[in-house]
Amino acid sequence: MSKVIVVTSGKGGVGKTTTSASFGTGLAQRGHKTVVIDFDVGLRNLDLIMGCERRVVYDFVNVINNESNLHQTLIKDKRVENLYVLPASQTRDKEALTREGVERVLNELRQSFEYIVCDSPAGIERGALMALYFADEALIVTNPEVSSVRDSDRILGILASRSRRAEQGDEPVKEHLVLARYAPDRANRGDMLSVDDVVEILGIPLLGVIPESQSVLQASNAGVPVVLDEQSDAGVAYNDLVDRYLGENRPHRFLTVEKKGFFRRLFRN
Amino acid sequence: MGLLDYFRSTRRGTAAVAKERLQIIVAHERGGGRRHSPDYLPALKKDLLDVVRKYVPISQNQVKVHLDRREDYEVLELNITLTDEDQAGHK
């Protein structure tokens, strides 16, 4: 049985594409055939984050309009086996995403993929609604900051009322919280919402905490999903997150401040 | 931040303020419960306001519509507060 998982947030710039790229790559690395779809028609970026921007020929909208087939359009990742990207169109607008078209493409993908990760655009307009409509599960990416938490709550409301599962009265979309850009030292000082605060407000299970990290920008500069940088804290956190998603028991890390020794303080490392 | 503030242990972080504000706004926006919160309440409120206004001049904040969910039924509570002035004018 394949699963459609939407990565969404409401607010922009919180780490949806970073999470989609790393989550999809992590699933594929563990042997699951995975495709990551960019739903941000007109503002595509997943291709850049995954480092395949120069290999885009056809796109999602071409497939919807029967101008190309999936075989021609899917980009096979060069680093990780079992990983494919379906890029968004850069020249169309979100109206090109028809419900029937998206459904047809997803059904076709379900035949050969175990996991279909839908990278949602920000907002609650058509692109975002289409990305979440067919979802079985949702990763809600949230930053520990008031506007992000409020928007996440709004998106949870939309998942519960306007997804296909909600409309058909099926079992609700399974929700997972991904708290990104977390700075434990600031949370400990009381200057940032803590993991517990956000979990309490949103009331959904926590899948992973991604620490604020320089490695995320470095990975996007290079076009390599940060999950592949196993030396970095964010990479480790994403690897834990994927393992946890697949049912492994992984305690949450990066929740407390690492104590710095005298010399590390001295050299400001 | 001054040196004294640093040692003052009762300093309340801004995160506590953020949490409190979020809890209030989120509860308000969820209305009668996130799962099936109806979208029609604001429109209903406006229509009611228009009907009542035909007879009594009232303002937006004199109408309160509240949907309460009990175990297996819902209570739609509607409160229209008439000020003394309104009543005096329409007796």
Q: How many angstroms separate the CA atoms of A73 and A162, rounded?
A: 29
Q: What are phi and psi for residue B55, nearest 5 degrees?
A: -110, -40
Mutate to test the interface with A, among B28, B30, B34 (most CBs of A within 10 A): B34
Nearest Cα to Cα of residue A123 among A151, A94, A95: A151
pLDDT of residue A267: 59
ipTM of model over 0.95: no
pLDDT at A186 over 60: yes
**pTM surpassing 0.90?**
no
pLDDT of residue B6: 56
pLDDT of residue B11: 57
In tens, the pLDDT along B41-66 reads 777 778 888 888 888 888 877 877 77
pLDDT of residue A101: 96
Q: How many angstroms separate the CA atoms of B23 and A51, rounded?
A: 40
CA diameter of chain A: 63
Question: Which residue from A154, A160, A194 is facing B35, i.e. has the nearest CB?
Answer: A160
In tens, the pLDDT along A105-127 reads 999 999 999 999 999 999 999 99
Band of the pLDDT at B89, cuts 50, 70, 90?
very low
pLDDT of residue B86: 52
Comparing B74 with A69, the larger pLDDT belongs to: A69
Mutate to test the interface with A, among B9, B17, B26 (most CBs of A within 10 A): B26
**Å between B7 CA and nearest CA of chain A:** 13
